[in-house]
Structure 1
Amino acid sequence: MTTHTAPGRDLTDRRVLILLVVTVGVLSLLLVLPYLSYVLAAVVLAYVLAPLQRRLEPRFGRTVAAAVGLVVATVAILFPVGVLVSVAIDQAITLAAAIGTGDLDVESLESQLAAHGLEIDLQTLYGTFQEPIGVGARGLAADALGIVGGFPGFLIGVTVLLFVLYSLLRDGDRLVAWSTSVLPLRDDLQDELVTRIDRLMWASIVASVLVAAVQSLLTTIGLAIVGIPGLAFFGILTFVLALLPLIGAFVVWAPIAIYLVVVGQPLAGAFLFAYGAVVVSLADNFLRPITVGRSVDLSAAVVVVGIFGGVAFFGVMGLFFGPMILGAFKTTFELYARERDEPHPQVPVGLVGIRPGAMESSQTPAGDTREENRS
């Protein structure tokens, strides 16, 4: 006995399923939001370590390869970055506190500027900004103490990061396959979308971060040579600024070089300026075309808006995901516009819902039908 479902019933079932999907999706997002930064960090690390996973998996299997990737991420990436950020925060607090309490010798610096023919009232400027900087220093110290006080939450976040990273390394390809299977798009559109998203991730995560890291390292080496303190702070500052187009490491090493000349160290200042102009800048000009060669071209406006908007919404991980999300929107909209403008064969209204091949069977000649009946 064949059971026929009324069209209205099918429509009701579909609406209920859509409502359930939206409800469960919103609840799932609310569960993830407290640890969203850690989940995004796991996605970044999984993408970076995916080549290692693919290389080890045929020899050792999924589980062992994912475990090796987890150890590499912890020892070679997470631990060094954690130590560096901790030192940089300490140096930033010390520097801001010195400015806020008036420990800087502004009079000496002003007299040295005057000796070079530059009449600048630094004491007035310093008095104007001293109190806001002091407030900022105290706020930064309070935030740092808050991080220490919230250590249990931080520990839970790191645990979430490690578990998500392990799962993505071991079953990431299955997750991608499942995502493409439930996505209601043609195979060619899915392939193109996945390829372009991969290029966006390469541009936002690997290429930009690699160039910024090299510039940060080279700038830190130059600052160490001329004896500038607070290397961890300036290194991280250079890394963040190097991610921004049209800004880069120049904003760090150039003012410091000028400062060295003003305070009576012209050789150190000239060396740092030449070092930054030749070594740091040429490294950027050399590496960026190589690393971004396989990626998409993101405009400066998209990158800047993506970085600042991403940081405001996602925190630190917004440095990477902000530009990628805007680039993904641009890519998806381009695919939609192309599909909208391409001509598609029109299906007659009366034939909507008829299976392919049903027309052929319905158009069987009468003579053939009689032959089948006789047989």
Structure 2
Amino acid sequence: MPDRSAPPTWLVGKPGLTALVLLSSLLALFVLLPYLQFILFGVVLAYILFPVQQRAEQHVRPTIAAIVIVLGALLFVLIPIIYLLTIAVQQSLRVVSAVRNGQIDVASIEELLESTGYRIDLVALYESNQERIATSLQEVTSGAIDLAGSLPGLFIGLTITLFVLFALLRDGEQLVAWVQWVLPVDEDILDELREGLDQLMWASVVGNVAVAAIQAALLGVGLAIAGLPAVIFLTVVTFVLTLLPLVGAFGVWVPAAMYLLAVGRPIASAAIAVYGLLVTFSDTYLRPALIGRTGAFNSAIIVIGIFGGLVVFGAVGLFIGPVVLGGAKLVLDCFAREHTGEPTA
């Protein structure tokens, strides 16, 4: 029978201290869990804004620079996002009401399809599934509201986000150095993990979220010019769909073009179709231009990470989820290499 490897000396030599560390870490985790998504949101904002902090520190003290950046993030990022999401929820509720009241002209769409040779009884199909469609839309809206939480909880959470952002901007480098000092891991492995996580964050925040935001904004402008109803809601939906591989803005501009054609606006329909194609194909140029330095994710990690992240971390899971999955693979690769002595695939 092969000999078992001896446990680490820090575990055998000071078991009481080890137990105390584990207990205190567990208690700290319980304290952090209620507002974990807001803490993670602060971490993501700090990652994005840290280069701005470094440049500002060349002119003013770190504390002053961090305060100015936090105020800027509040005025130009958080408040506009909350305002847009509020409008999107209101518009989605109006869409639910329109579906329930039968205000959508399905007959015109059916006539349009028949003129192209497709005979589908959309009226009967719509009437039989009208309540299901409305219920599904309402569940999505209610889910978005639940992710945000109640108004007092949202206020407390955003306050925590701002304080986390301030602390990380001012003392982020010291915190990273402390974490590397505390963890019982070799420095070369920690450096590798730090570099890998930096690439994962860059790919998730810039490569996925920023590209989705740009495409959603571009399509939203086009929809507004074309006179589509519930533009803010459609823009938010575009943002979410563009995060997913093989889906993208098609899921919004194709139905929008069909709607315009059904209401007797063929020129606007054709314009939205052409413009939507341009927005969709812009991904080919935007993603390499913004990422350029990493191909950190595959489709499975993105899709599972987004949906799993939403469930576990809330709204911030849209970009934290893929990072968690990618980071887990990175850690397991380092672990396997250290214990087998073979390079990872």
**Alpha-carbon distance, 1:148 to partner:** 10
Residues 246/226 of structure 1: CA separation in 2 closer, same or farther (3 Å cut): same
Counterpart position of 1:226: 226
Counterpart position of 1:291: 290
- 2:328 maps to 1:323: no
Matches within 5 A, 1:190-269: 190-269=190-269
Letter in 2 for 1:282: F
Map Cα deviations across residues 114-138 of structure 1 (whole Å, 9 max, x no partner). Answer: 3443322122221222222344466
Q: For the Cα contact (< 8 Å) 1:217–1:235, is it kept in 2?
A: yes
* Residues 296-305 or 64-73, more deviating: 296-305
Letter in 2 for 1:337: A
Q: For the Cα contact (< 8 Å) 1:204–1:324, is it kept in 2?
A: yes
In structure 2, how many angstroms separate the alpha carbons of the residues matched to 1:53 and 1:142? 37
In structure 2, how many angstroms separate the alpha carbons of the residues matched to 1:147 and 1:335? 34
Residues 175/12 of structure 1: CA separation in 2 closer, same or farther (3 Å cut): same
Residues 252/137 of structure 1: CA separation in 2 closer, same or farther (3 Å cut): closer
In structure 2, how many angstroms separate the alpha carbons of the residues matched to 1:38 and 1:254? 35
Q: For the Cα contact (< 8 Å) 1:39–1:161, is it kept in 2?
A: yes
Map Cα deviations across residues 260-282 of structure 1 (whole Å, 9 max, x no partner). Answer: 2344322212111111223x133
Residues 144/315 of structure 1: CA separation in 2 closer, same or farther (3 Å cut): closer
Q: For the Cα contact (< 8 Å) 2:113–2:119, is it kept in 1?
A: yes
Counterpart position of 1:93: 93
In structure 2, how many angstroms separate the alpha carbons of the residues matched to 1:144 and 1:243? 16
Matches within 5 A, 1:1-375: 14-136=14-136, 150-278=150-278, 280-342=279-341
What is the TM-score when the length of structure 2 is the normalising length? 0.89
Residues 133/320 of structure 1: CA separation in 2 closer, same or farther (3 Å cut): same
* Residues 127-136 or 144-153, more deviating: 144-153
In structure 1, how many angstroms separate the alpha carbons of the residues matched to 2:298 and 2:207? 15
In structure 1, how many angstroms separate the alpha carbons of the residues matched to 2:107 and 2:115? 12
The number of residues matched between the two structures is 334
Map Cα deviations across residues 266-305 of structure 1 (whole Å, 9 max, x no partner). Answer: 2212111111223x13321111112221224311011111
Percent identity at matched positions?
43
Counterpart position of 2:6: none
Residues 272/135 of structure 1: CA separation in 2 closer, same or farther (3 Å cut): closer
Larger radius of gyration: 1
SS of the equivalent of 2:179 reads helix
Q: Which stretches in structure 1 are left out of the alignment for 5+ residues?
A: 1-8, 344-375
Residues 10/331 of structure 1: CA separation in 2 closer, same or farther (3 Å cut): closer
In structure 2, how many angstroms separate the alpha carbons of the residues matched to 1:303 and 1:220? 24
* Residues 14-23 or 29-38, more deviating: 14-23
In structure 2, how many angstroms separate the alpha carbons of the residues matched to 1:141 and 1:286? 32
Residues 33/229 of structure 1: CA separation in 2 closer, same or farther (3 Å cut): same
* CA RMSD in angstroms, aligned pairs only: 2.4
Residues 263/118 of structure 1: CA separation in 2 closer, same or farther (3 Å cut): farther
Q: For the Cα contact (< 8 Å) 1:112–1:264, is it kept in 2?
A: no
Letter in 2 for 1:232: I
Residues 143/191 of structure 1: CA separation in 2 closer, same or farther (3 Å cut): closer
Map Cα deviations across residues 20-69 of structure 1 (whole Å, 9 max, x no partner). Answer: 22222221111111111111111111111101111111321111011011
In structure 1, how many angstroms separate the alpha carbons of the residues matched to 2:191 and 2:30? 30
In structure 1, how many angstroms separate the alpha carbons of the residues matched to 2:38 and 2:161? 5
**Alpha-carbon distance, 1:140 to partner:** 6.5
In structure 2, how many angstroms separate the alpha carbons of the residues matched to 1:173 and 1:249? 38
SS of the equivalent of 2:296 reads coil
Residues 296/220 of structure 1: CA separation in 2 closer, same or farther (3 Å cut): same
* Residues 111-120 or 206-215, more deviating: 111-120
Letter in 2 for 1:332: V
Q: For the Cα contact (< 8 Å) 1:97–1:138, is it kept in 2?
A: no
**Alpha-carbon distance, 1:226 to partner:** 1.7
Letter in 2 for 1:54: Q
What is the TM-score when the length of structure 1 is the normalising length? 0.83
